[in-house]
Structure 1
Amino acid sequence: MISLGYMIFNRKNLDNNALLSFYKTLLWPRMIEEKMLILLRQGRIGKWFSGIGQEAIAVGATLAMQSDEYILPMHRNLGVFTTRNIPLSKLMAQWQGKATGFTKGRDRSFHFGSQQHKIIGMISHLGPQMALADGIALADVLSNRKKATLVFTGEGATSEGDFHEAINIAAVWKLPVIFLIENNGYALSTPTDEQFKCKSLADKATGYGIEGLTIDGNNILDVFYTVRELAASIRENPRPILLECKTFRMRGHEEASGTKYVPQELFEEWGAKDPLLQFEQYLINEQVLQPEWIELLRKDFSNLIEREVEAAFNAEDIQVDTDTELADMYAPHAYQPSPLPGNFNEKRFLDAISDAMRLSLRKYPNLVIMGQDIAQYGGAFKATEGFAEEFGTGRIRNTPLCESGVIGAAMGLSLNGYKAIVEMQFADFVSVGFNQIINNLAKTHYRWGQNVDVVLRMPTGAGTSAGPFHSQSNEAWFTKTPGLKVVYPAFPDDAKGLLMAAINDPNPVIYFEHKYLYRSNSGLVPDGDYTVEIGKARTVRTGTRASIITYGWGVHWALEYLEQNPNLSIEIIDLRSLQPWDKQAVEASVKKTGRALILHEDTLTSGFGGEIAAHLAEHCFQYLDTPVIRCAGLDTAIPMNKQLEDNFLAKARLKESVERLLAY
């Protein structure tokens, strides 16, 4: 053990070769960063988030983890990537937007993952990766793998709800996750005293009932030994730990933002604590490193950096191919039709959904269902009643009330080899998990080729006088988001078939199930494994005078209206899927009848019907005898009062809309 005034280094059982290896591993990302700053000044790169002065955290923590354990870093953690031996040429191609980069030019800096290196990168929203770590760790626990997961965050992101949700889930579920906070003093320009009032961020651990500790993040040996010991402990005794690493950001948030807001005395204080120079001097004092070796080593690294950088700059530019761009939004999936149904049984809509999940749980031992009150209670609508008894509470998991964290954990399960279903207690509540869906689940395959095998069950719709927060039809929030598949069945057989197809599909699927239909709608449902292809519509009734294009409860409104008006020869197309939707079937019907009425429960303005109407105007104009007419909900929130709710629903205007269409 030796003190350099600012740091005390304790080598413990590390021999000279190990210490030299640590030094080289610490020097390598520093020199890359120095080169990046030169390239930035030369205008050869456009942006850089510097981690100079913080390298000991990324390098020391990564060295402490086993090579097959997941690490989820952030944008100042170059040392994670270099310590996991990702070639600089590959990293440089990523930063330059080259085809050989991890994201093929589709995303920036460290916004990518690599299953080969067990690294899952961040997105710009900073906090969501913490919940992913929960899911990754949960997969290890369920598989009886004694592994730890390490996830980085900054002191600024500790103010976000994602921080709270992820740590709370990990605490309740006793997940082996190290939540590492890099406290570098500033979130962009906001100092820590404007972020939190606790003395130490590690103090937050007490509120979650977990351990928390603070260490010197600039001391590579302290970081290494602390993380190594914590990881070894939680592998054997799974639980989360909050680790705060004190450090300082010696550059701007990114180079363009500068550092004028930082007092000069802080630079002087922390400059003396430079993790590389302090460790370097320690090794010289210990006679492990000879001063003349430093220049030789820097020269070798510099030459290698020059070669790797220029190789990346000289790599071919992206060749734009629209078909490839569109195809890569989704993981490849060849639909396999189920065998011809044998036996059929009369089932309610809700029971068909339960049947699909039960059969899928038996088919996929790696399938986990999560949601509020879904275990012993069976869920708010009893869709999972009896599941906990058959499959155990490890796979049928009650969750805390934190939709964002649970959706992120579902994605983490998928990253580590599992399938996940998340039940939103009501579709309305998905708004507090919106970011995970729109920016994580939907975009991950396009960004770095990783499928996200998650189904979100969404009890939706009006008809039960539940008011503005339990009755929304919010499918249009998701149909405009590439990377998501959206289904919305109207009958029990489709409810089962589409849900089983969604579970089979390796892409994120938003599965809408109408609450009003749960117990009011019954029909014959095939026994056993049964799927309905996502993206294929169903002709519910044939006709020649007009086409009603609809889905969900709207299908039943249309059928009821035509039962009351049997003289009308009107075709009903049940879309069943909204993303992708069956353009071919809709076009064929409209070309045959010459008239189109689009019917849905959602509001008229920006409802999904507007997309169908626009498509028909563009592609079927010459076949139309009338303008396309939309019949939808009022442009208001959904009221609770039964009379007001009935007036809101499109059904109240269906008769007038059909008459107007036929009379044109």
Structure 2
Amino acid sequence: MLFDRKNLSNAQLIQMYRSLVYPRLIEEKMLVLLRQGKVSKWFSGIGQEAIAVGATLALQQNEWIMPLHRNLGVFTTRQMPLHQLFNQWQGNQNGYSKGRERSFHFGSRAHHICGMISHLGPQLAIADGIALANKLGQKEKVSLAFTGEGGTSEGDFHEALNLAAVWDLPVIFLIENNGYALSTPTNEQYRCINLAEKAKGYGIEGITIDGNNLLTVYDTVRGVRDYCLKNQKPYLIECATFRMRGHEEASGTKYVPSALFELWEKKDPVANFEQYLIGESVLTEEEIGSVRDSFKAAIEEELKLADAKALPLVVDTAVEVSDVYAPHEQVDLFYTADSNVSEKRFIEAVKEGLQQSLRLHDNLLIMGQDIAEYGGAFKVTEGLLEEFGKDRIRNTPICESVVVGAALGLSLEGYKSVVEMQFADFATMAFNQIVNNLAKLYYRWGQQADVVIRMPTGGGVGAGPFHSQSNEAWFTHVPGLKVVYPATPADAKGLLIAAINDPNPVLFFEHKALYRSLSAPVPDKSFEVSIGKARWVQQGDDIAIITYGMGVIWAEEYAASHPEVSIAILDLRTLLPLDYEAIKEAAESTGKVLVLHEDTLTGGIGAEIAAWIGEHCFNRLDAPVTRCASLDTPVPFNKDLEANFMAHARLETCIRNLLNF
């Protein structure tokens, strides 16, 4: 192994050696503790430490890194205390994730490290968002994301590199190619010779280097960082390496030919660098031994400190539940009788909410397909480009997953963002980012995800199975998300402004059929409607209809055409969290409840509401809770078939059956 020190001093080389050997010695100790049952799982990076250490040393301390589970060297090089890391690995209360996460599935804002999730691709998208924030803020900073050779087979790899190239983002994508994705060898992962060749397909530069050579990694990343900043472009680095342990310790290594171990043992990054330092008279064997001994002693002291500081785990349900969302004191600034109001269509109310929020928050971006010059598929964002410019009203490629991940990255750097799904149906392409990254982020390591996703939804417009789904119930099952679904222009504006002001991830559903068909008075000024508070549309004595979105319109129309029936109508407005007090009031005030929604019947939010009422209000009911929902089929294209599909087709029957019970 050839080392080129260039202009590095002896002191710098010694410090780099100390940074390299420290994670190796920690890992060796962890393997002992694993056998003793003192840690439950370990993903070893033995054999590839030079990549994490060299890359981290080459960056500034305030530049974000997106590591994976084999990058202990990132954490130690950023000077994270071992005793707290050990408490993290043991699942203790005073670990970085309060016992809620395993191994390296956590981050630290103070150390500019973004915690990974088990799905490996999303880290790349987050790096895009951070790089965008740096670019917008004209900061001389890059972001760096790790991935493995197996991770390059994921769609997020393609999306992240493509978006970074299209937007000219200063981001470094670093591939640790250790030959195996768990047990799957590279010849079953891709057909190119080197993964760095993939860079050409995105119009960016790439290079393959020896990932076991600390000085090569350090010098390459440092030079690439300069390139990214100077040219405001991304770069792909492939580091050839090998892990000397299994994917994780329980996996073993039987699937790896023994000859590979013999080959790569000769390329050990620590042993080779030690021999180089001895050969250069930078350190003697005795001094290297002294460094190792001092670190071993320090590790033992840190483990004792970890035991001393370990807090007994206190299982507190209230704390667990409260930590699902980042704290937010919402101000309910609904309009008053003397407010200036104007007649606005639903679509105009949404647009005005965006426009006034953009004026209030200079750190707010809107991202989505065709939203800039074209104004979006439904023209909601038409005209915003002219006022706020392309930096803040950003067209994206067709890449829902990476855009949501980039929004999360923007949040790490203090930006707010609104992502427009062209249709709510297309959120499936970003499902992982939404339910596993955005939703769980605050609970896992206390980092807020300040992101709103606009979801044009619903049928009745003859758009067929893939542009008409009501998929809100998919997300109401996910702790950490807020799900909002307004039914009036005023609520559309007020709830959207509230969602943007909220630091938590909010899915904001907008019924497409209401965009231009519904008009009502809306306050001209900016105002909020409280998320989590239902609205009484009208009071009644015979039955209560609990509904939201288009269901509110159907319920109002039915009540207006049947004055002989006294109908209470409750508009939920927010589906997560639900306003259970209002639901209870609706159930107890009439004794007969109909839950109405456009979504299909099975597994819809109506099932949750009906179950809750049955559990908490049973003794006040005069009839079983009735659900009125759409058919359990995909949404058909033909207008007559679609009309039959809709819950509206069964509303009359459901109400009559409930009244006659």
TM-score by length of 1: 0.98
> More deviation in 603-612 or 299-308?
299-308
| Higher mean C-alpha deviation, range 180-189 or range 585-594 | 585-594
Cα distance in 2, alignment partners of residues 16 and 182 from structure 1:
28
- Residue 180 of structure 2 aligns with an amino acid whose one-letter code is Y
Kept after mapping to 2: 8 A contact 1:427/1:459: yes
8 Å CA contact retained: 1:218, 1:246: yes
Please tell me whether the aligned partners of residues 165 and 203 of structure 2 are also in contact (alpha carbons under 8 angstroms). Answer: yes
Structure 1 match to 2:318: 323
Q: How does 1:6-85 map to 2 (within 5 A)?
A: 7-85=1-79
The answer as to whether partners of 1:146 and 1:236 remain within 8 angstroms in 2 is: no
| Counterpart position of 1:101 | 95
Is 1:483 the equivalent of 2:486?
Answer: no
Work out whether 1:236 is the aligned partner of 2:230. yes
2:332 corresponds to: 337
Q: Distance in 1 between matches of 2:332 and 2:242?
A: 57
In the other structure, the counterpart of 1:4 is none
Letter in 2 for 1:44: K
Q: Give the secondary-structure state (helix, strand or coil) at the position aligned to 1:409.
A: helix
Whole-angstrom CA distance in 2 between matches of 1:9 and 1:299: 25
What is the SS of the residue equivalent to 2:375? coil
The question of 1:287 aligning with 2:281 is answered yes
Instruction: Please tell me whether the aligned partners of residues 363 and 416 of structure 2 are also in contact (alpha carbons under 8 angstroms).
Output: yes
**C-alpha deviation, 1:318, in angstroms:** 1.4
SS, match of residue 316 in structure 1: coil
Contact 2:58 2:218 in 1 (8 A): yes
Equivalent residue number for residue 219 of structure 2: 225
In the alignment, which residue of structure 1 is the partner of 2:590? 593
Aligned to 1:495: 492
Which residue does 1:3 correspond to in 2?
none
Residue identity matched to 1:304: A
Please provide the CA RMSD for this pair.
Answer: 0.8
Q: CA deviation at 1:337?
A: 2.3
Does residue 330 of structure 2 align to residue 359 of structure 1?
no
* Contact 2:547–2:595 (CA under 8 A) maintained in structure 1: yes
Match of 2:295 in 1: 301
How far 1:339 moved relative to its partner?
6.6
SS in 2 for 1:510: strand
Q: Deviations over 1:593-651 (max 9, x none)?
A: 11100000001100000000000001100110011000000011110001110000010
Q: How does 1:186-225 map to 2 (within 5 A)?
A: 186-225=180-219
The answer as to whether partners of 2:105 and 2:116 remain within 8 angstroms in 1 is yes
What are the equivalent positions in structure 2 for 1:235-634 lying under 5 Å apart?
235-314=229-308, 315-338=310-333, 340-341=335-336, 342-634=339-631
| Distance in 1 of aligned mates of 2:395 and 2:60 | 31
Which shifted more, 507-516 or 120-129?
120-129
**Aligned residue number for residue 177 of structure 2:** 183
Amino acid at match of 2:42: W
Question: How many Å apart are 1:312 and its aligned residue?
Answer: 2.0
In the TM superposition, what is the alpha-carbon distance from 1:310 to its structure 2 partner? 2.8
Does structure 2 retain, via aligned residues, the 8 Å contact 1:403–1:429? yes
Given the alignment of the two structures, is residue 155 of structure 1 paired with residue 149 of structure 2, yes or no?
Answer: yes
Q: Quick one: which amino acid aligns to residue 11 of structure 2?
A: N
Distance across 2 between alignment mates of 1:597 and 1:338: 31
State how far apart, in whole Å, the 2-side matches of 1:457 and 1:339 are.
21
Distance in 2 between residues matched to 1:630 and 1:184, nearest whole Å: 54
Alpha carbons 2:600, 2:629 under 8 Å: kept: yes
Matches within 5 A, 1:646-661: 646-661=643-658
Can you list the C-alpha shifts for 1:285-324, whole angstroms capped at 9, x where unaligned? 0000011112222111111111212322341221110000
Moved more, 585-594 or 466-475: 585-594
2-structure distance, mates of 1:184, 1:294 = 27
Judged with a 3 Å threshold, the aligned counterparts in structure 2 of structure 1 residues 662 and 339 are, in CA distance, closer, same or farther, namely: closer
Aligned partner letter, 2:120: L
- Displacement after TM superposition at 1:338 (Å): 2.1
Structure 1 residue 340: Cα displacement: 4.2
SS at match of 2:176: strand
The whole-number CA distance in structure 2 between the counterparts of 1:472 and 1:39 is 51
Q: Distance in 1 between matches of 2:248 and 2:599?
A: 43
Q: Is the 8 A contact 1:426 1:460 kept in 2?
A: yes
**Structure 2 unaligned spans of 5+:** none
Hey, what's the Cα distance between the residues in 2 that align with 1:356 and 1:301? Answer: 57
Amino acid in the other structure paired with 1:141: K
Q: C-alpha displacement at 1:274, in angstroms? A: 0.3
The one-letter code of the counterpart of 2:554 is W
Letter aligned with residue 298 of structure 1: R
The whole-number CA distance in structure 1 between the counterparts of 2:396 and 2:291 is: 52
In 2, the alpha carbon distance for the partners of 1:168 and 1:428 equals 23
Residue 162 of structure 2: aligned partner? 168
CA contact (8 A) 2:482 2:504 kept: yes
Residue 44 of structure 1 and its aligned partner are, at CA, apart by: 1.4
**Aligned mate of 2:138, from 121, 125, 144:** 144
Secondary structure of residue in 2 paired with 1:91: helix
Q: Give the letter aligned to residue 442 of structure 1.
A: A
The amino acid of 2:179's aligned partner reads G
Q: What secondary structure, in the 3-state scheme, does the structure 1 residue paired with 2:206 have?
A: strand
Q: Give the length in aligned residue pairs.
A: 658
Q: d(CA) in 1 for partners of 2:586 and 2:229?
A: 59
1:346 corresponds to which letter in structure 2? E
Instruction: Give the partner amino acid of 2:617.
Output: C
Runs (5+) with no aligned partner, structure 1: 1-6
Report the counterpart of residue 108 of structure 2 in structure 1. 114
Check conservation: 1:57, 1:223, Cα contact below 8 A. yes
Kept in 1, the 8 Å contact 2:335–2:523? The answer is no
Contact persistence 1:96–1:313 (CA under 8 A): no
What amino acid does structure 2 have at the position aligned with 1:526?
P
Quote the sequence identity (%).
64
* Helix, strand or coil at the partner of 2:634: coil
Distance in structure 1 (CA, Å) of the matches to 2:53 and 2:623: 67
CA offsets, 1:54-110, max 9 Å, x none? 000000010000111111111110000000000100111110111111100000111
**What TM-score results when the alignment is normalised by the length of structure 2?**
0.99
CA-CA distance at 1:112 after TM superposition: 0.9
Give, in angstroms, the shift of residue 402 of structure 1.
0.7
Q: Which 4+ residue blocks in structure 1 deviate beyond 3 angstroms?
A: none
